[in-house]
Structure 1
Amino acid sequence: MQIIALIIIGAAAGFLATRLMKVETDVVTTIAIGIFGALIGGLVLRVLIAVTGFAAGFVGAVLGAILLIWLWQTYGRKRR
């Protein structure tokens, strides 16, 4: 089922990418560009997430802490 969704998303992405890059292609080429782009992008993204899983978690934790500090400074310390 994920492959079918990837193909559908890839076809839409190919259409959008060819329009953004101002490339004139036929429908079959546009769909093929999107499908292969989605497959390549999906594989690369999965590898990057697997490799940088710890780093991504750390970045998420830092961003969450920054948000918490901002909320605390903005709404928490009103007793001066």
Structure 2
Amino acid sequence: MSIVFLVIIGAAAGFLATRLMRIEADIITTIAIGIAGALVGGLLLRALLAVMGMMAGFVGAVLGALALIWLWQTYIKR
């Protein structure tokens, strides 16, 4: 999966992740969290992507964004 694709999916994943975790963040933070989550989740789940196809990349992007939001709320926002 290319980095450009992860960035595009990451923007959508960040939006979805912030809504799932019910946090209020500005658009830049939402996109940044999503892109970082997509890069982390997409690269870690590369093996799963080979087995399940592109949907696994989106799932990995959302999971990565959720993990980063949780870390951000737990350690940085306080």
TM class, shorter-length:
0.5 to 0.7
Q: Which blocks of at least 5 consecutive residues in structure 2 are unaligned?
A: 52-78
- CA radius of gyration, larger in: 1
Structure 1 runs, 4 residues or longer, greater than 6 Å off: none
Give the alignment's TM-score, normalised by structure 1: 0.55
1:21 is matched with 21
2:36 is matched with 36
User: How big is the shift at 1:43?
Assistant: 1.5
- State how 1:1-80 maps to structure 2 within 5 Å: 2-46=2-46, 49=47
**RMSD over equivalenced CA pairs, Å:** 2.3
Say how many residue pairs are matched: 50
Give the alignment's TM-score, normalised by structure 2: 0.56
Identical columns (%): 68
The structure showing larger relative contact order (alpha-carbon pairs under 8 Å, at least 6 residues apart) is 2
User: How big is the shift at 1:12?
Assistant: 0.2
Q: Which blocks of at least 5 consecutive residues in structure 1 are unaligned?
A: 57-80
User: How big is the shift at 1:45?
Assistant: 0.6
